[in-house]
Structure 1
């Protein structure tokens, strides 16, 4: 069992989620139940699945939750690109968020590979 609060990927995922909430607060009101909600839910999933997986008693189970984390990260990436296409975020915001996300993906993938 791992202590999720000590994991750097959990810390980065939590900060990333906060950044998503901040950026989506500027989305149009009509997107409240659309892209805003989708981005927030998927970003919350990143640190949440890391935390849940860390409570599992086997590395195989934890690895499965890290795979779900990666799926959520790629979901967020797609949604950020759509938000950019719709002019809800600018290029600088997109690049910053994608850089954060890329770091989370790389760290999660590397950590997952150590659990086998």
Structure 2
């Protein structure tokens, strides 16, 4: 079963999260450009990218595997943002907004993955 990823609310929210984290990174120290900033940008891009990639798979089981990778990337992103928080990097207000949206996206991915797997069992 294929899904049009652009119509998935979870993908749309994950794209919003990517935009927000890129904006947050603009305020980080320049010396973190090739370390933390690159890691944050890569992991934030990975969240919607894996949702999109999985949406093109032929079975819900395969799609669920990509959703699991997306969740893993979101935890990686969360860790990197928490490192910023611990080090007092960037705007704490922007950081809090990113963490709130990240939490929402994580819940959405979990719920969507469960839904996809239930539909796989019913098929």
TM tier relative to shorter chain: over 0.9
TM-score by length of 2: 0.91
- Which residues of structure 1 form unaligned runs of 5+? none
**Aligned-partner Cα distance in 2 for 1:106–1:23:** 22
**Aligned-partner Cα distance in 1 for 2:23–2:112:** 28
TM-score by length of 1: 0.96
Give the 4+ runs in structure 1 shifted more than 6 A.
none
* Aligned-residue offset at 1:95: 2.0
**Aligned-partner Cα distance in 1 for 2:35–2:20:** 18
Q: C-alpha root-mean-square deviation of aligned residues, in Å?
A: 0.9
Change in 2 beyond 3 A, CA 1:72/1:111: same
Pairing 1:77–2:78 present: yes
Which residue of structure 1 lines up, in the alignment, with residue 47 of structure 2? 46
- Which residues of structure 2 form unaligned runs of 5+? 118-123
Show the 5 A alignment for 1:17-36.
17-36=18-37
Q: Which has the larger radius of gyration?
A: 2
**Aligned-partner Cα distance in 2 for 1:15–1:106:** 15
